[in-house]
Amino acid sequence: MHFDPYSLMSVLAISGNFTSPSMFPPEHEYIAPGVHDKRSPCPALNALANHGFIPRDGRDISSHTLIQSTVEMYGLSVPLATTLVSGGMLCCGNVFTGIDLDDLAAHNKIEHDGSLVHADTKEGESRAPIHVDQALLTQLLTSYPNGLSLDDFAHARYEREKGLAKPLDPFHAELGHGEASLTWLLMKNASNVVPIETLRQWYGEERFPDSYVIPQETIGFMDAAGLSRKIADKMKELRRGDRGD
């Protein structure tokens, strides 16, 4: 499958004129991946592929395509998007030839154990599970029936990491904080809570949720770092409480 470069113009048009999935044109409707399509452990990238904002087959995706799509569809600043994409390319892909989405499943590069909805990598395996673990997803959704606040995301990450055989190193722990905080920032409603149905569609189906609205304000480094720090601080507080400090 070859990706039409002009589809990037569609990304620009949608982000400027259509702010939610119900307004996406037919070429960007949700289509679940086929058996030969590549996907990653990242719902944000998989949603872009499942809606056709990056190649639906998940293959040979350029840095430019990833940066453009994350800027336009998730409201990330160009510097933040460039940093995230460049990190993935340097660790798992090729800055010249691009990346297949499943390259991002390489264990302990960008991917890490302790995902909220993906099983941990088995001992001796070099690649992480890509498919959503339905037991973990169900546990997450039933544990927070009223949706997840930022503190709830911190609690969910804390509970998930408590069960790991080996604690995450600081780099991957910080990635976990960032993933949770960006999910909250992108998917929260007016009450600053991510509803359960939104999470089910985002994490479970890897699609843009019906409630999703493309951010009108750019998300920059300071926004992402500040929320990530709040997640980390809340997790430290929970650890102290468990220890009785």
Domain ranges of the chain: 7-243
**Hey, what are 57's tokens?**
């087959």
Alpha-carbon distance of 54 to 70, in angstroms, equals: 10
pLDDT reading at 3 higher than 90: no
Q: Residue 12 has what pLDDT?
A: 47
Q: Could you tell me which CATH class the domain 7-243 is placed in?
A: mainly alpha
> Residue written as tokens 């890897």?
206
> Residue written as tokens 């960032």?
178
Alpha-carbon distance of 239 to 245, in angstroms, equals: 9
* Global confidence as pTM: 0.92
Phi-psi region of 166 (alpha: psi -120 to 50; beta: other; left: phi over 0): beta
Q: Which amino acid is at 55?
A: P
Alpha-carbon distance of 116 to 125, in angstroms, equals: 19
Give 20's pLDDT tier (boundaries 50, 70, 90): confident
| CA-only gyration radius of the chain, Å | 17
Smallest CA-to-CA distance from 46 within 20, 23, 69, 78 is with 69
Burial call 192-221: b when 16+ CB within 10 Å, e when fewer: ebbbbebbbbbbbbbbbbebbebbeeebee
Q: C-alpha angle with apex 175: 113 to 197, nearest 5 degrees? A: 80
Q: Tens digit of pLDDT for each residue in 23-75?
A: 888 889 999 999 999 999 999 999 999 999 999 999 999 999 999 999 999 99
Look at residue 94 and give its three-state secondary structure: strand
Look at residue 1 and give its three-state secondary structure: coil
Q: Residue 17 has what pLDDT?
A: 53
pLDDT reading at 153 higher than 80: yes
Whole-number mean pLDDT of the chain? 92
